């Protein structure tokens, strides 16, 4: 399993999903499907989020939120990106029925 890069217009740069974080997501959030399905919905969410907000649990975390009608007959995908000065990287992704509370940075 290789690292993947996804373009995020919000940052105007690529975001990395490391093989280690991908394995974590696939193991802990298996409802997101196969590696190919995960990559597709993460890419789509980073490229065209409905909402971008600050994480409430990590001062460097940025949460990208997008509704996916085919994800369990309709759920939000939340992709949490760590905004480090050296790189932007996905720490986790998970599905939710609700948008979490947090300061909205972009909508």
**What does the pLDDT look like over 24-82, one tens digit per residue?**
999 999 999 999 999 999 999 999 999 999 999 999 999 999 999 989 889 999 999 99
- CB neighbour list of residue 70: distance below 8 Å, 6 or more residues apart: none
Strands 88-96 and 75-83: antiparallel
**Residue 98, class by beta-carbon neighbours within 10 Å (0-12 exposed, 13-18 middle, 19+ buried)?**
exposed
pLDDT at 58: 93
* 3-state secondary structure (DSSP) of residue 52: strand
User: pTM here?
Assistant: 0.96
Cα 26 from chain centroid (whole Å)? 13
Asked if 91 contacts 80 with a C-beta cutoff of 8 angstroms, the reply is: yes
Report the alpha-carbon distance of residue 63 to residue 42 in Å, rounded.
12
């Amino acid at each position: 399993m290789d690292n993947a890069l996804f373009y995020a217009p919000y940052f105007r740069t690529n975001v990395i999903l490391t093989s280690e974080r991908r394995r974590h997501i696939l193991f802990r959030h298996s409802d997101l499907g196969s590696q190919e399905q995960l990559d597709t919905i993460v890419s789509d969410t980073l490229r065209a989020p409905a909402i971008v907000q600050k994480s409430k649990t990590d001062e460097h975390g940025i949460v990208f939120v997008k509704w996916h009608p085919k994800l369990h007959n309709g759920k939000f995908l939340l992709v949490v990106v760590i905004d480090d000065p050296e790189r932007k990287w996905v720490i986790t992704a998970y599905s939710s029925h609700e948008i979490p509370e947090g300061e909205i940075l972009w909508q």
